[in-house]
Structure 1
Amino acid sequence: MHYFRKQQTICEHCRHVNYNHDAIQQRKLQKVDFIWVNRDVENFSWFFQLLNDFENEQLTYLETLRANNVTPKRYIDFHFYFTSLKSNNQRMIGCAPFDFAVKVYEHVSSCDVLTKMKTKTILGRPQWSLLFAEFKAEHKKTSVFFTGKPVMGDEIKRWCDQYQFLYYHEPYF
């Protein structure tokens, strides 16, 4: 976000934000896929406002690109997983199945029921094979930075080896 924000110019009079598109396109870091795996929403809530600000900033940027007939290119995507919640039709909110209530809420509000962000949360664990295949198709070179429990780190390292991604591990506490 720091490098992206350095490419902004804000008008003193109207507060309109302009972007140096050439500098943005030439950045070494082109895109970040931020994957957060956690047991539940409460362990994550302190971080939502910052991520929501990033998400809204990107939406403004993409709208500016479209208005200038420039093909929009996302610079950050979020992937939120809550492992203690399971998606099924047995849990109820009042008389309505939980999954149905969530879908109605998200359709009406255009935001996630758990985080209130545009990015939808996924209940359960990541399907690494699908994520890594998507990243491989999208990027020539990919680096993965991981911090967390060693068991998950070992699994992610195996996927990085399979897809020939660079793997970096930051010890967890």
Structure 2
Amino acid sequence: MFTTVRQQGWVDGSAAITGITPYASALECLMHYFREQQTICKKCCHVNYNHEAIQQCKLQKVDFIWVNRDLENFSWFLQLLNDFENEQLTYLETLRANNVTSKRYIDFHFYFTSLKSNNQGMIGYAPFDLAANIYQNVSNRDVLTKMRTKTILGRPQWSLLFAKFKAEHRRTSVFFTGKPVMGEDIKRWCDQYQFMYYHEPYF
């Protein structure tokens, strides 16, 4: 199913539930693949992975970018992402315990557009930023999603994201579902950086 070196998936949170479903299925397939490489000792319950098989997977990295303004309507999807985040943490800790060089195979990027961050000049939301940072530091969880990945307030800075992806990997494919306006913007960046662009329409 995955054939490129690196893939990005953009989901505009204003999309219908059906627009998210293909991405949920893709993430479940990827998580299932890593669980297939997992072995658990029956005596001590020690977890190990077939690291060589994972390294040979053609898909080397996924960046899942989710732009949303109403997280409560997608609690079921957040649970899937949280499971995947925990799965990766177990994988990385296992490799480090065995002195094996580890690397992340998926990164989540969450953007909550109902609020603006201080970095975008909205000083009126300073109390929220402060509370969110304290919560993250104390609990190691995001105040909005309850995941380890921190949610960024406001919209993505496409120039920074695309420059980062280009610097890390030469071959990248981008898959997007959401409003056409955002899709057109993302496609322009893909054309500039010579990334393959795929759009999943939603109705």
Q: TM-score, normalised by structure 2?
A: 0.79
1:1-173 matches, cutoff 5 A: 1-88=31-118, 89-91=123-125, 97-173=127-203
User: SS of the residue aligned with 1:90?
Assistant: helix
2: distance between equivalents of 1:5 and 1:145? 24
2: distance between equivalents of 1:5 and 1:160? 32
Higher helix share: 2
2: distance between equivalents of 1:91 and 1:19? 44
State the shift of 1:91 in Å. 3.5
State the shift of 1:86 in Å. 1.3
Deviations, residues 8-27 of structure 1 (Å, cap 9, x unaligned): 22333433321111111110
Q: How many residues align?
A: 169
2: distance between equivalents of 1:169 and 1:22? 33
Q: AA paired with 2:173?
A: S
User: SS of the residue aligned with 2:117?
Assistant: coil
2: distance between equivalents of 1:147 and 1:109? 32
User: Which segment drifts farther, 53-62 or 12-21?
Assistant: 12-21
Q: AA paired with 1:22?
A: E
2: distance between equivalents of 1:101 and 1:52? 22
Q: AA paired with 1:47?
A: F
State the shift of 1:98 in Å. 1.8
State the shift of 1:39 in Å. 1.2
2: distance between equivalents of 1:155 and 1:58? 31
User: Which segment drifts farther, 146-155 or 13-22?
Assistant: 13-22
Q: AA paired with 1:137?
A: A
* Percent of residue pairs bearing the same amino acid type: 83
Ranges in structure 1 where 5+ consecutive residues have no aligned partner:
none
State the shift of 1:2 in Å. 2.6
User: SS of the residue aligned with 2:197?
Assistant: strand
Q: AA paired with 2:182?
A: M
Q: TM-score, normalised by structure 1?
A: 0.91
2: distance between equivalents of 1:60 and 1:82? 27
Deviations, residues 113-148 of structure 1 (Å, cap 9, x unaligned): 111100000111111111111111111211111111
Runs of 4+ residues over 3 Å off in structure 1: 12-15
Q: State the superposition RMSD in angstroms.
A: 1.4
Ranges in structure 2 where 5+ consecutive residues have no aligned partner:
1-30
Deviations, residues 68-115 of structure 1 (Å, cap 9, x unaligned): 1111110110001111111244247xxxx2221111111111111111
User: SS of the residue aligned with 1:43?
Assistant: helix
